[in-house]
Structure 1
Amino acid sequence: MAAPPWGPPRLDGFILSERLGSGTYATVYKAYAKKDTREVVAIKCVAKKSLNKASVENLLTEIEILKGIRHPHIVQLKDFQWDRDNIYLIMEFCAGGNLSRFIHTRRILPEKVARVFMQQLASALQFLHERNISHLDLKPQNILLSSLEKPHLKLADFGFAQHMSPWDEKHVLRGSPLYMAPEMVCQRQYDARVDLWSVGVILYEALFGQPPFASRSFSELEEKIRSNRVIEDFFAHPWVDLEHMPSGESLARATALVVQAVKKDQEGEAAAALSLYCKALDYFVPALHYEVDTHRKEAIKAKVGQYVSRAEELKAIVSSSNQALLRQGPSAQDLLKEMARDKPRLLAALEVASAAIAKEEKVGGEQDALDLYQHSLGELLLLLAAEPPGRRQELLHTEVQNLMARAEFLKEKIKMRESRWEAESLDKEGLLESLRSSCTLQ
């Protein structure tokens, strides 16, 4: 039925209420299903008379894309209808508003919150890109929040979305200039990677409260965002860390690693078992974030407490072994330094390794020590590859192996400490009471 001039349109089966937002072609209303469930939905009303050929194609593509996908961080299209005047997209309702409003009411977001949001957005984008779909209009206004109490991102507004293989190139200008990649702003050909530029701009806005390239004119904006730098591999970046995003698979992955850890433990391989227990913790923490059932959560916590206790015992064993190695090490390292007097680069790398050992022995110096170990090893591995056969090569090979073992152990120690901090953070919410006494890594 036609919309009365003083209120929202009427649609069979639904009661349309407050207006949630509007754009060039559409107005979005909050609505209630008339059936028994009284389900709350959002209805996007598109006036037929406002559509031209291009916008009709965009609308049809949006419907086609959303009809065929289901993902926890993409807004769901439940149905669509039409009448003489309008086309109606019946969407999942997101009570938390959009990300733009969420950022601006808080001014900036803490890095921890921004990271969780980026994980969720990356998960949705990876899902789309695997299906050769590009959004092409990523901005905070098009990202909705499920609620304000426990917000989950929902990517929305696929009006500019396109089916694009990674190697496809387009040249039609789409999206919002503030969030456009340089190749779009400059009206060159572009491909699916433009979505990742937009993600970077959104992250910047979340952390600093405003987009990085705000300007008074389009030409000024174009000048500001010109750049030849290659966009990194976003989905694999360690800060995004999709691998450890809380999900239904987190517990299964943690359990599989624990099974391997127990096997190595039984075989007497303490270092390998410790490493596997640490990797399992990286999945147990997000598993606890994901779990909502109180009894299952308590069962997971109890198991994690046992694993942390055993990891602590293994850490002491491995640490004792490494200390023995350290006591043996100086004479071999001193001999190698003596043999490296004609190799300034080798001598410098060995001095960095000595500094790493000294740092490791100091309280709170683990991260600095690890950085020094990695710097030293980067040099020593190159030098080892170029070293001719002989006694110096043998000593250098042994030294590299020793330093790698120490660096790996230190890396696992730091990971365990970080997992403990994360666990203690959850504990403040009443989730990990049993770990407080059993996961002290000092």
Structure 2
Amino acid sequence: MVKARSRPHVRDFHDDDLDGIVRLWQAADAGADSPVYSLAEVIASCREDHATVAVHGDTVVGVAVGRAAHAQGWLVFFAVDLVFFAVDEHGDATAIGGELLDALERRMAPLGLGKLSALVSGESDRAAGLLANGFEERHHLRYFERQMPVQRRELDLLKEVGGRILPRNLWGSVAGMRHEKALLEERLVAPLSQPDLAARFGVVPPRAVMLFGPPGTGKTTFARAIASRLDWPFVELFPSRLGDPRGGMAHALRESFATISELEHAVVFIDEVEEIASRRGGDPPSPTQGVTNELLKVVAEFRDRPGRLLICATNFIRALDAAFLRHGRFDYVLPIGLPDAEARAAIWTKYVPDDALARLDVAELVSASEGLTPADIEYAARRASQDALGRALRTGEESTLQSEDYITALASTRATVSAEVAEAFTQDIATLARL
């Protein structure tokens, strides 16, 4: 007569159990029943939260891992080794699963939890074990998750270089400018956010891009919107603030990029890059020549690392050193011009008080503000409001904003972009743009 082998027993988790838990997680992940939580999250919860295991000898054949959040318990990982339990002498998998869950519940009961909840993927084999052990399936529920843009270890690095996480809605807030947005979406955002799709078409995700155009046309806004759209940290380096007593501006530039290289993802933005990338030459050499040389090296090294995008912007693209715009350093050289009619309408709507919008002829304001930058339009709108407030204070009478107030304000608004600058920009598009 063959003696039945001993039944697995359930106990609290020990650090020595980790290898067995990893094996169970990998087995689950290899099938159609992938765990909801990552292996790193499961391991962290084993060590920091609550876990029970079923062991047979030295072998882990089942596990239940839980964590508590706001008076509710969550089952992070639950699995039994079905291959092991296929042998009858070893006991019933459902019964062992129940013991694991009961033991986990007892461990977490002192926390004052109201319920223990679980998320499982699709038609999970684990669902039967949960249903057999007191869990109820809640229908009409869907699971959503969102990746955090920065891991905890990166926060200090981001702070060191003055980086930050931007709101996720900035891309949608850039109204109008459909051509520019479509171009940026196609050339930059899609290849970086969907690398597998890009690879299918042989598209290499960009590493660096140059934005150029007249002052005040929104190059910084677009750079921030791209970072927001990608959900990557945004790091803006200011040439005027780069300085290091140990080695000057060139050394500070290299140190900043060395720190940025430790981030998993980043959009790095340098505005007014002509300050550190102007044409070299002359006798004696210009004071910034060494910085330009360093920046050329930094860009080359930056391009070797995936998951990062360098965006440089300039108002004076003709002032840049020729080597800086050479193929191989910047994937694209993209023009950002004055706001189109749709964008101007959105800008007026943003700065005109809501109660005044119904009385205004927005189309008239859009037409009258052609050739103005967003900053010009904002100035005109704020001036009209300020003038109306002053009039009310002087007369003591209530007055309302009318289209005439804004037309008057526009008449005294000096355009940032002159006709000569606009013409030069058109020529630069023809000669220097790389779309």
Q: TM-score range by the shorter chain?
A: under 0.3
Instruction: Please report the TM-score for the alignment, with normalisation by the length of structure 1.
Output: 0.23
TM-score, normalised to structure 2, is 0.24
Larger of the two Rg values belongs to structure: 2
Higher helix share: 1
Higher relative contact order (CA 8 A, sep 6+): 2
